[in-house]
Amino acid sequence: MTGKQFSLNEVEALACQVLLTAGASPAAASAVARSIRQAERDGIRSHGLLYLPIYAEHLRCGKVLGLAEPIFSHPKPGSIRVDAGNGFAHTAIDAGWEAFTNAARVCGIAALTLHRSYNCGTLGHHAERLAEGGLIGLCFTHAPASIAPIGGKVPVIGTNPFAIAVPDGAGGALLVIDQSASIIAKSEILLRARKGEPIEPNWALDVEGRPTTVAEEALRGSMLPNGGQKGFGLGLMVEILAAVLSGANLSQDASPFSGTAGGPPGTGQCFIALDPSGFSGAVFDQSLRRLAGSITEQPGARLPGSRRKANRTRIEAEGVLVDAALLARIAA
């Protein structure tokens, strides 16, 4: 047996059932299962069902608390702060979402930060959610340290993604940029390690700071930033917003997102929403359309996020093929 075809409804139902069985509350299981469905829908397999056994393992060992009740506060008109209680980021984001987006519409700009949080899934989906509400979404999340500073060999920051999405004026996102500070997603190195396959020579360093093509050595060493010192600078910016501003653990103090060691990672997120009507108004849409057109009118060029949209259309119709090995890990 090579695998089984699943509809997206079946993907979400399977994920929800596994999470409930592992100890997640109904609200947490529902929110995380929806995130897994969205990842599979967009062809982002690394954040889909592939991550489900890790979520279940972390629920059982206490790295993430499935029954955590997030608590949000509203200390200033444009700031919302959520204590995720070492539970899933998804439910904590939902807890502060209404106050956050309302504040952005009232003030023109607002920020939502989370601390004592966890992996928030595909970051671009949160930015896209803001764009669907007519807001510019700018999102940051950090991760356990895996990237050393240029010239160093001890990891200080994580892969630290950021994402931006802009509204299309019709309830969707015109474009979504979602990228990390590392040259490759850490999940890709984990996947290569699991399969015993080598990694590319420009992806990572070993513990001595030497280039390596061995996935296991890369996981013990440091990933390389995308764009050298510029990539490290972007990752440091994310660290300041998602960890320092939110009051979360620094990446260097967070336990790994893989494995059972270390207890809850206590990481953080920072989401910023801007209401275009509070700035350039109608000019925003006109300028944005012109900007996007200057890209799409060029043969072979495409807007960031267009590949996800194409995957979405196809996978919603066809479903996803889940390989037998992954199904066996999920069943276990």
Active site residues: 46-47, 188
- CA separation (Å) from 124 to 35, 52, 156, 200, 329? 11, 19, 24, 26, 27
What's the rounded Cα separation, in Å, for the pair 116 and 129? 22
Tokens at 242, concatenated: 């998602």
DSSP secondary structure of 262-305: TS---EEEEEEEE-GGGTTTHHHHHHHHHHHHHHHTSTT---TT
Q: Which amino acid is at 281?
A: G
Q: Which amino acid is at 12?
A: E
**Max Cα distance, the chain (Å):** 57
Specify the residue for token string 């930033």.
Answer: 225
